[in-house]
Every structure is written in C-alpha cells, then in structure tokens.
Amino acid sequence: MLSLRLQKIASLINSSDKVLDIGCDHAYLSIYLAKRNIKVLASDVNAKAMAQARINIKKENLDIPTILSDGLDNIDTQDFNTIVISGMGTSTILKILNNKEKLQSISKLIIQSNNNICELREKVTKMGYFIQNELVVLDNHKYYIIIEFQKGKKKYSYQDLMYGPVLSKDKKNKEYFSHLLDKNEAILKQIPKSNIRYRHNLKKHIRIIKKIINNN
C-alpha cells in the first residue's frame, strides 16, 4: 500500500511517461507504476535500500531494472522522459539535476523536497522547466509539496516562487495556507521586538499568506 505522499506523486504520472525513480528507497513507487504498465527504472545510492528494493520487486514477480547510483551518475537517461525525486532536501535534489547532458531527454520532473521549496522552484525553473502542477498532501501529520515541472520557460513573481503559482491559486489548499499562517504568527510572537528585520520579513509573509487565503 502506497503512502498518501507516494499516491499523490503517482497521480502525476501517466501511461506515456518513462520514469526514472531516483532515490527509490524500497521501490514501492516503482512497483506501483510497473503494475500499471508504466516503464520505470529504480535507483538508489544506498546499497541496503537497493537490496531491499530488489527483494520487493522479486516478490511481486516484476521485471524492473535497478541500478545502484549516486543520483544520475550511473544511469543512461536517453530512453526516459520523466524523473521522480522525492524525500530529499533541495540541495541534494539540485546536485542530482545539475547535469544538462543527463537532462536532455527529460521533459518532465516530479519533485517532492523536504525543505527550501522556494529555492527549488527558482533553481529548477532556471534550468529550463516551468511549473505545470503542484499538489499538497497531509501524510502522517506532515504537509508535503509535490511539484511537476515540464520543459519550457515561464516568468514567476516572488510570491509564485515562495508559495507556488499553482498551489496558491487552488481553493483546495486553503487548509494548508491556514496552517502556514498559524505557524508564521506563532513564530512572530516569539521573536523579540529588537529583531526588527526578522519581524518585518515575517509580517510580509503573513500579509502574503492572508492575501492568498482571502483570494481563495
């Protein structure tokens, strides 16, 4: 059974996608996709995780290629058009994607980062991708943001990069932004009045979040 987070990621993948599951862990997503006749390759840098992934694949009697690799290093990406990376930090994700040659055939990126989502949006869009879709999911009491990037270019405002050009315009995400508002207001109460710059920045974000909530 896929976690809610992985279910949301899978919902962004269609039958024409040829998927590289980078950082596949125990290959649950790869197995789910393969059962739906989607071409997928499972890869991880961790040998123990990769060994368990192979056991899980064998149990399901599936023929999923697996490669032990640090990111894309050992992978021939030419026969694939989609990369999935989830459960990592933004700096690690950007390091994996920092290879123009490996990305030549890749028209679609599905990324779930554990931190620095604004930086992720900014840096990936500078690589020549635009934000096609964004989803938020509450899984095990934690919010996760999943972004689908497609090859192409669009210009984005600071608010777009910070809170998502798709995410912030979807009424279904009002609960998430209410959570963000509560979180920022709680932090503001704890910041000393002498820390003028930090308080000013927090108030700016609170205003933006309130605007997003009211517009939805």
Q: Is the pLDDT of residue 207 over 80?
A: yes
So what's the pLDDT on residue 8?
97
| Beta bridge mates, 149 | 109, 131
pLDDT in tens, 140-190: 999 999 999 999 999 999 999 999 999 999 999 999 999 999 999 999 999
Output the CA angle 173-179-134, nearest 5 degrees. 30
So what's the pLDDT on residue 1?
74
Q: Provide the residue range defining the domain that includes 113.
A: 4-155
Residue 160 lies inside a defined structural domain of this protein: no
Angstrom distance (rounded) from CA 172 to CA 119: 24
Q: Of the candidates 125, 155, 185, which is a domain's last residue? A: 155
So what's the pLDDT on residue 78?
94
Same domain, 126 and 208: no
Residue 162 lies inside a defined structural domain of this protein: no
Whole-angstrom distance between the N-terminal and C-terminal Cα of the chain? 33
Same domain, 129 and 193: no
Residue 51 lies inside a defined structural domain of this protein: yes
Q: Of the candidates 155, 179, 195, which is a domain's last residue? A: 155
Angstrom distance (rounded) from CA 128 to CA 78: 18
Average pLDDT over residues 37-49: 96
Q: Is the pLDDT of residue 216 over 80?
A: no
Residue 165 lies inside a defined structural domain of this protein: no
So what's the pLDDT on residue 69?
95
- To the nearest 10°, the Cα dihedral for 101, 104, 107, 111? 0
Residue 163 lies inside a defined structural domain of this protein: no
Same domain, 66 and 117: yes
Angstrom distance (rounded) from CA 92 to CA 214: 35
pTM of the shown model = 0.94
- 12 confidence band (pLDDT: 50, 70, 90): very high
Q: DSSP string spanning 53-104? A: HHHHHHHTT----EEE-STTTT---TT--EEEEEEE-HHHHHHHH--TTTTT
Residue 130 lies inside a defined structural domain of this protein: yes
Residue 161 lies inside a defined structural domain of this protein: no
Q: Of the candidates 128, 155, 182, which is a domain's last residue? A: 155
Identify the helix (H) or strand (E) that includes residue 110: strand 108-113
| Beta bridge mates, 138 | 143
Same domain, 134 and 211: no
Same domain, 107 and 187: no
Same domain, 31 and 96: yes
Chain centroid offset of residue 125 CA: 13
CB neighbour burial string for 37-73, b if at least 16 within 10 angstroms, e if fewer: ebbbbbbbbeeebbeebbebbeeeeeebebbebebbe
Q: Is the pLDDT of residue 119 over 90?
A: yes
Residue 36 lies inside a defined structural domain of this protein: yes
